[in-house]
Amino acid sequence: MSCLEWRATRIGWCDRLVVAGGFWSGSGILLKMERVRELRRIAVATGVMMRAAAICVVLGGGIFLGVARGQESQGPQKPPTPEHDVRRVASTEPTAEAPPDVPQPLIIKHFAEKEEEYARVRGRFGYKKTIKLTEYGADGNPMGEFSVTTTPTVASDGKVYERVQADGVSTLRTLKLSPEDVNAISRIPGYPLAASQVEKYKITFAGRELVDEVDCYMFQVKPKYLERANALFEGIVWVDAKYLEIVKSYGKFVTDLGDFHSPELPFSNFETYRENVEGKYWFPNYARSDDRLHFQDGDVPLRVVIKWTAFKPLATFRRVCADTPSPKRATRN
């Protein structure tokens, strides 16, 4: 009840009291006070009921949601989020791959027999070999180089020699080398894992990799025992997964005295690629090595690149060179 309504009601009561008694009597005043108390009780009760209704709406909604969720819980539930997000961290070490389907001893036996065959056949082929030695400055640019070319010749006694000649004047700044010194770098054993030598090595499967789009097995090679008279290979070889033949190698030759290299130059680790000749022989056709010369005022980076091209059976060279005397400065192949 509003204040205006209450006042109007009060005026009506007063008028009735005046008509009845002609004046405000004590009983009229008591009646008014009692009526006011009754109206207050009604207002308080109404407010309480409204607040109770609001509380019921809120609680009722919560109860409804709780019941609904309880009903949903009866179906399949999404697994709870784990307390720890566990992730696999990649190791810095290469991941070991599954071994090849072909037994490893058979793979090794097959490529070792092929290496023996290639070593024997290569001696019947001639080629053009170019060795280029380059010095680099502190800025990383070439500052000097020396290139020589060798070709095999057949002497009148039937022996094969290499004719060595410089391709131009040397521009090397820190080294004074003859063509024969440079050619000595290229005397790398081509087939260290031939069948006659393979038992000297521990050969372990190391993975799989593409080499010029050829699927290859990788094998790590280490000498079982070091020798002094013979340098043995230590490194990695890549074997064609289909034909089981070595198509690439990377490594060095070692003895019990250490790494083997030419006396004048430090090159020991070579990366060597091979070329398929006549569709059946794999001959080395490219090799590269990087190293440094150490001086008091700083190091000088060096690179040597060796290329073999124009493979031909030596019979061709024999006809061309039959009447050519042995060169005065030649090295036996």
DSSP 192-241: TT-TTTGGGEEEEEEEEEEETTEEEEEEEEEESS--SSS-EEEEEEEEET
Cα–Cα distance, 196 to 187 (Å, whole number): 20
- Global pTM exceeds 0.85: no
The DSSP call for residue 141 is: S
Instruction: Note whether 184 and 74 are within 8 A (CB).
Output: no
pLDDT tens string, the chain, 333 residues long: the values are 544 444 444 444 444 433 334 433 444 444 445 554 555 565 545 554 555 555 444 445 444 444 444 444 443 333 344 333 333 233 334 445 656 778 999 999 999 999 999 999 998 899 999 999 999 998 989 999 999 999 888 877 778 888 899 999 999 998 889 999 888 888 888 999 999 999 999 999 999 999 988 999 999 999 999 998 899 999 999 999 999 999 999 999 999 988 887 777 889 999 999 999 999 899 999 999 999 988 888 889 999 999 999 999 986 544 444 443 433 333 333
Name 261's bridge partners. Answer: none
Distance in Å from the first CA to the final CA of the chain: 125
Angle 311-180-276 from CA coordinates, rounded to 5°:
20
Which pLDDT does position 50 carry in this prediction? 56
Name 208's bridge partners. Answer: 217
Domain range annotation of the chain: 3-60, 104-332
Which pLDDT does position 141 carry in this prediction? 93
Which pLDDT does position 37 carry in this prediction? 58
Taking Cα atoms as reference points, which of 145, 138, 210 lies closest to residue 172?
A: 145
SS3 content of the chain, % helix, strand, coil (to 5): 30, 35, 35
Taking Cα atoms as reference points, which of 160, 166, 189, 178 lies closest to residue 255?
A: 189
What values do phi and psi take at 17, rounded to 5?
Answer: -65, -40
Which pLDDT does position 160 carry in this prediction? 80
Which pLDDT does position 232 carry in this prediction? 95
Q: Which two structure tokens, joined as six digits, stand for 124? A: 């019947």
Buried b / exposed e along 234-271 (16+ C-beta atoms within 10 A): bbbbbbbbeebbbbbbbbbbbeeeeeebbeebebbbbe
Question: Which residues, 6+ apart, have CB-to-CB distance to 299 below 8 Å?
Answer: 292, 293
SS3 290: strand
